[in-house]
Amino acid sequence: MAIEEMVGREEETTMHWTCISSAGVGRKKKRLKGGEKTVQGRRETVQEWEKAGSREKELSGQGCLAEEQDRDDDNDIVMENASFVRNEPPQDDQGPPKVDSEVEILHEKVKKQIIKEGHGHKPAKLATCFLHYRAWVEHSSHKFEDTWQEQHPIELILGKEKKEMAGLGIGIASMKSGERALLHVGWELGYGEEGSFSFPNVPPMADLLYEVELIGFDDIKEGKARSDMTVEERIEAADRRKVEGNAHFKDEKLQEAMQQYEMAIAYMGDDFMFQLFGKYRDMALAVKNPCHLNMAACLIKLQRYDEAIGQCTIVLSEDENNVKALFRRGKARAALGQTEAAREDFQRARKYAPEDKAILKELRSLAEHDKAVYEKQKEIYKGIFGPRPEPKPKKSNLLVVFWHWLLSLIHRLFNLVRRKTD
């Protein structure tokens, strides 16, 4: 979906976005007329700048759910056509992956082992690279950073990376888009002789291991780096990535589609969104949220339900009544057996799209599931305790019946004799 007609800038503003760690701590610089203003903070302390409560926003997610199995709009993708999207590394704490591939020496202090081959060419110097990585201290396997947990790729400009990322930059320069590799980095090109005692916590003189994936990169065009783009230019660039992702998906080039969505999201990271409000924030969310929803659709097809829930929750943190986000999070929760949470999501979605057939179908499916579980439990308990014994019929006691008859006869005779006497 193309962005709405761009409006003129209200002020001559240039945003400088510095690469931040996965903890979400960063420094934002906003250059205004007459001076420079620096803003620094954590994203968890940032509240929503402006409550977008218009009916138009509530309805933005409603249109196509009923026909989701057949078609969708430009902001979304058809889930049923997905069959394979690149595998993410497992989300666990078992330490660095075991890799048997050949060791490539990139530098005296940097070695690389390929986990998954990439495609295309390698990034040039000053290219803006988008990547995910996990990092460990090599001798202890202590994991000190994981950008996958944040579900936001980070940005690294080759040749301008921080000192502690020099080894990582050398490894990235040798990779192709979509490539995933294990990098061995000596302490001299990492956190050095002193280490880091804040975040991330790295001991002195620690050799490092990086499991890194290069999602994609932007070579500098016309001498303009991404950090020097205006707000409108960044949103437009992200929208182009989203459109390219949708086109790749329709052509079943699913790996490329996922990469484009993640790169679009990277254009609008937390530091960037922190500085936006009003119409600029709405413009950014109109591109960013559909990318998260498309990622969720792919993850559901991959049966990576926890990650799909995370993508939908990001959208709902900005637009709590987004029908597509509620619907897809409900599907993921139902697949995980979280039936009550799934039912709550579907009921909330139904509130804003009461006639949507897909939502009604999922609610019926949950009701049928509950009934099936109840019947299964009945069978289990029946097998444990056995069938309920039938009450035995009472045997008639002829002797008791005879004595009752005899006493009744005597009583009648006694009454008859007494009446005659009277």
The full set of domain ranges for the chain reads 104-218
pTM summary value:
0.58
Topology classification of domain 104-218: Chitinase A; domain 3 (3.10.50)
Regions of the chain where pLDDT drops below 70: 1-93, 151, 220-226, 383, 385-397, 422
Q: Measuring CA to CA, which residue among 214, 268, 205 is closest to residue 242?
A: 268
Give the pLDDT of residue 303: 87
Half-sphere exposure of 63 (CA within 13 A, CB side): 9
The single residue listed with the structure tokens 């949103």 is: 235
Give the pLDDT of residue 243: 92
**What are the pLDDT digits (tens) for 336-391?**
999 999 999 999 999 999 999 999 999 999 999 888 877 877 777 776 766 655 55
> In this structure, which amino acid lies at residue 197?
F
Give the pLDDT of residue 182: 97
Give the pLDDT of residue 7: 34
Distance CA 165, CA 160 (A): 10
Distance CA 265, CA 159 (A): 23
Give the pLDDT of residue 270: 79
Print burial letters for 150-178: b (CB count within 10 Å at least 16), e (below 16).
Answer: bbbbbbbbbeebeebbbbbbbbbbbbbbb
Give the pLDDT of residue 224: 60
Give the pLDDT of residue 221: 59
* 319 C-beta neighbours (distance < 10 Å), count: 18
Whether 17 contacts 130, CB under 8 Å: no
Q: In whole angstroms, how large is the CA radius of gyration of the chain?
A: 33
